[in-house]
C-alpha cells in the first residue's frame, strides 16, 4: 500500500461515527479504520471490528482525511480543553479532627435539642392530673407528626437554599435557627396558658425544631471523625440522666412540683440549650473556611500545631536543664581544680 497505509498499526478499530452505508455495500456496512486510540482521545465511541466484514468483503484501509476526522477533537472538546478548571469540582470529603473539644460540643448539641422533650415527658403524671391519662398519646402525636411534612418540605427546599446560601450556610442557618427556637420555647414553656390546645401547640413546634436540628446536626457531623458521631449519639441518650439530675436537685422527683421548682427545671434546661447553640456556632466559626473550601485543612492543622508548640514552650521553665546544673559547675568553669581559675 501507500506510505500512509503502511504507517497505520496492524490492529485498527472501527469508529462508530464513521459507520454508515456507502455506494459499495448499500447495506450500512462500512469499515473505518483508525489508529488505536481511547474514547477520550477520539471523542467518539469506538467499536471493535474483525478483519472479515459481515458481507465477506475485505476491510478497506482508511484515507488520511478519515483518520484526521476521527483523531481531531470536536469543537465541544476544544472548548472544554481551553476552559479554565471549574472551582466546583468534586473534592474528597475531609475528616476534621476536633479531638475532645468537638466531641463535647456535639454532645452539647444533641442534649440541647432533646432535653426539653425528655423533661416534658418526665412530667407525665402532672399532665395526666390535669388532662387525663390519654395525654401521653396526644403529646407523642403532637411532637412527631408535624415534623414529618416539615422534613419532607425541607428536602425539597434544600437545593434552593443551597443555591442561595451555599450548602454550609444553609446547614448553619437551619441548625442555629432550630436551636434558637428551642431556647425560646423552653424558656417560655412555664408561662403558657394551662390549656390542652396551648400545650399541644407548643409541643408540636418543639417537635419541628428538634427534627430540623437533628437532621442538620447529622449533616454537620459528617465533616468530623467517628468519635464525634458517637458524641452526638451519646448526647441523645444522655439527656435522660441529665433531666433526672435536674429533677432530683430541684423537685426531688415530685409528681406535683411547686411553681418555683417548675420554673427552675425549664430555665436550667433552656440554659443547656443555649450552651448547645453556642457549641454549634463555635463549630461553624472555627471550621467555616475548611468546610467551604476557602482554607486548606492542612494549614489549619499546622497552625494549631504551631500554637500548641508555642504554648508548650511558654509553659516550660525559663532556664532549662542547663541552668539547673550551673551552680554546681560554676567553681570549675575557670579551668582550675581548686576553683581559682586558670
pLDDT at position 252 is 73
Q: Which of 89, 112, 155, 332 is nearest to 242 (CA)?
A: 112
Phi, psi (rounded to 5 degrees) for 294: -80, -25
- The pLDDT value recorded for residue 130 is 87
pLDDT at 220 (0 to 100): 93
**Digit-coded pLDDT (tens) for 254-272:** 677 888 888 999 999 999 9
Q: Does residue 231 register a pLDDT over 70?
A: yes
Inter-residue contact 207 to 85 (CB < 8 Å): no
The CATH architecture one would assign to domain 99-292 is Up-down Bundle (1.20)
Report domain extents, the chain.
3-73, 99-292
Contact 105, 282 (CB under 8 A): yes
> Is residue 2 scored above 70 in pLDDT?
no
Instruction: Compute the distance between CA of residue 261 and CA of residue 317 in angstroms, rounded to an integer.
Output: 51
pLDDT digits (tens, 9 = 90+) for 119-146: 999 888 888 888 988 999 999 999 999 9
9-18, 274-283, 285-294: lowest mean pLDDT where? Answer: 9-18
pLDDT in the model for residue 317: 52
Among 1-15, 23-37, 62-76, 286-300, the least confident range? 23-37
The residue-averaged pLDDT of 310-337 equals 47
**What is the pLDDT at residue 290?**
87
Note the pLDDT of residue 267: 94
* Contacts for 310 with CB less than 8 Å, ≥ 6 apart: none
Grid cell, residue 277, equals 447553640
**Are the CB atoms for 183 and 205 separated by under 8 Å?**
no
User: Does 270 or 14 have the greater pLDDT score?
Assistant: 270
Task: Decide if pLDDT at 15 tops 90.
Answer: no
Helices and strands counted in the chain (H then E)? 14, 3
The pTM for the full model equals 0.62
Q: Is the pLDDT of residue 165 over 70?
A: yes
Nearest CA to 168 among 289, 299, 273, 298? 289
Q: What is the pLDDT of residues 63-92, one digit of tens each?
A: 655 555 555 556 656 555 544 444 444 454
pLDDT category of residue 193 using cuts at 50, 70 and 90 = confident
Instruction: Sheet with 33-34: list strands edge to edge.
Output: 33-34, 13-15, 46-47
Q: What is the mean pLDDT of residues 42-57?
A: 47
Amino acid at each position: 500500500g501507500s506510505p500512509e497505509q503502511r504507517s497505520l498499526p496492524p490492529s485498527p478499530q472501527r469508529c462508530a461515527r464513521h459507520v454508515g452505508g456507502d455506494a459499495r455495500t448499500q447495506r450500512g456496512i462500512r469499515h473505518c479504520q483508525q489508529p488505536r486510540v481511547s474514547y477520550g482521545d477520539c471523542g467518539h465511541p469506538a467499536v471493535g471490528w474483525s478483519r472479515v466484514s459481515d458481507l465477506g468483503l475485505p476491510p478497506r484501509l482508511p484515507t488520511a482525511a478519515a483518520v484526521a476526522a476521527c483523531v481531531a477533537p470536536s469543537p465541544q472538546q476544544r472548548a472544554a480543553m481551553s476552559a479554565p478548571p471549574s472551582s466546583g469540582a468534586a473534592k474528597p470529603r475531609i475528616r476534621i479532627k476536633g479531638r475532645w473539644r468537638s466531641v463535647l460540643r456535639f454532645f452539647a448539641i444533641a442534649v440541647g435539642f432533646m432535653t426539653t422533650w425528655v423533661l416534658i415527658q418526665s412530667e407525665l403524671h402532672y399532665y395526666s392530673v390535669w388532662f387525663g391519662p390519654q395525654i401521653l398519646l396526644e403529646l407523642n402525636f403532637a411532637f412527631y407528626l408535624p415534623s414529618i411534612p416539615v422534613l419532607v418540605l425541607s428536602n425539597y427546599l434544600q437545593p434552593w437554599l443551597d443555591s442561595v446560601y451555599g450548602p454550609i450556610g444553609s446547614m448553619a442557618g437551619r441548625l442555629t435557627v432550630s436551636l434558637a427556637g428551642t431556647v425560646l420555647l423552653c424558656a417560655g414553656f412555664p408561662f403558657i396558658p394551662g390549656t390542652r390546645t396551648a400545650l399541644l401547640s407548643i409541643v408540636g413546634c418543639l417537635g419541628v425544631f428538634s427534627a430540623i436540628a437533628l437532621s442538620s446536626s447529622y449533616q454537620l457531623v459528617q465533616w468530623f471523625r467517628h468519635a464525634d458521631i458517637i458524641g452526638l449519639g451519646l448526647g441523645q441518650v444522655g439527656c435522660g440522666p441529665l433531666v433526672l439530675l435536674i429533677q432530683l436537685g430541684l423537685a426531688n422527683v415530685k409528681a406535683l412540683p411547686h411553681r418555683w421548682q417548675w420554673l427552675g427545671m425549664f430555665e436550667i434546661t433552656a440554659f443547656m440549650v443555649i450552651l448547645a447553640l453556642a457549641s454549634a456556632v463555635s463549630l461553624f466559626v472555627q471550621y467555616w473556611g475548611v468546610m467551604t473550601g476557602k482554607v486548606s485543612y492542612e494549614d489549619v492543622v499546622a497552625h494549631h500545631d504551631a500554637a500548641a508548640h508555642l504554648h508548650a514552650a511558654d509553659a516550660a521553665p525559663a532556664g532549662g536543664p542547663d541552668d539547673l546544673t550551673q551552680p554546681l559547675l560554676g567553681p570549675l568553669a575557670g579551668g582550675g581544680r581548686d576553683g581559682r581559675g586558670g
